[in-house]
Chain A
């Protein structure tokens, strides 16, 4: 039983580290602020849950688990709040998502001669 809990905590810690790295790589590599915000929240949700749950399983019941639970609850309240604050500040300042350059519409060349013909 003890070995099972230990192995489970190892699995949780390793997968939490993997999620933390995924979030960091996304934060570095994504092309746009809004997509980067999306990647950064992976660490805030999956990384924090898995790493702190793994540490709690490793520590067993006690004061340490209570402290880990307090950190988990606090990060759960403040993570989305600060993400929302950053996104709201960026939106108010007028930062727009990067969009694909719009292709020239195909109907326009055929319509324009018609318009000119109508005007003439």
Chain B
């Protein structure tokens, strides 16, 4: 049964990956990347149960953390063109 869930999640990741590479806008790609990460978290969990090693859940939790921070970082970078402190000029340009 976990094999079926793993295959289904892999197929879903493939479909989202197509959208990730063919998205017309940047936001389509960011949304697809976030969705791909959520699928990956579930896939890692299912894979752990499939191998009778549920310790994989730690990796899934870590992946969820990295996925969220990465999404926010990508959005912040493409809005302000900086990940750390926002430069003053860009802030004024945004108005």
When distances are taken between beta carbons in the complex, the residues of chain A under 8 Å from B79 are 89, 92
A contact residues, range: 35 or more
CA distance A79 to B46 in the complex (A): 19
Name the prevailing secondary structure of the A interface residues: helix
CA distance A54 to B7 in the complex (A): 16
CB distance from B65 to the nearest CB of A (A): 7
Binary contact track A78-90/B, C-beta < 8 Å → 1, others 0? 1101110110011
Is the beta-carbon distance between A27 and B35 smaller than 8 angstroms? Answer: yes
Choose among B35, B45, B57, B65 the residue that contacts A51 (Cβ–Cβ < 8 A): B45
When distances are taken between beta carbons in the complex, the residues of chain B under 8 Å from A64 are 54, 57
CA distance A90 to B79 in the complex (A): 10
**Could you tell me which residues of chain B, from 21 to 80, have a CB within 8 Å of some CB in chain A?**
24-25, 27-28, 30-32, 34-35, 38-39, 41-42, 45-46, 49, 54, 57-58, 60-61, 64-65, 67-68, 71-72, 75, 78-79
B contact residues, range: 35 or more
CA distance A48 to B9 in the complex (A): 11
**Could you tell me which residues of chain A, from 1 to 54, have a CB within 8 Å of some CB in chain B?**
10, 13-14, 16-18, 20-21, 23-25, 27-28, 33, 36-37, 40, 43-44, 47-48, 51-52
Is the beta-carbon distance between B12 and A33 smaller than 8 angstroms? Answer: no
Is the beta-carbon distance between A20 and B9 smaller than 8 angstroms? Answer: yes
Could you list which residues of chain A lie within 8 angstroms of chain B, going by C-beta atoms? 10, 13-14, 16-18, 20-21, 23-25, 27-28, 33, 36-37, 40, 43-44, 47-48, 51-52, 55, 58-59, 64, 67-68, 70-71, 74-75, 78-79, 81-83, 85-86, 89-90, 92-93, 95
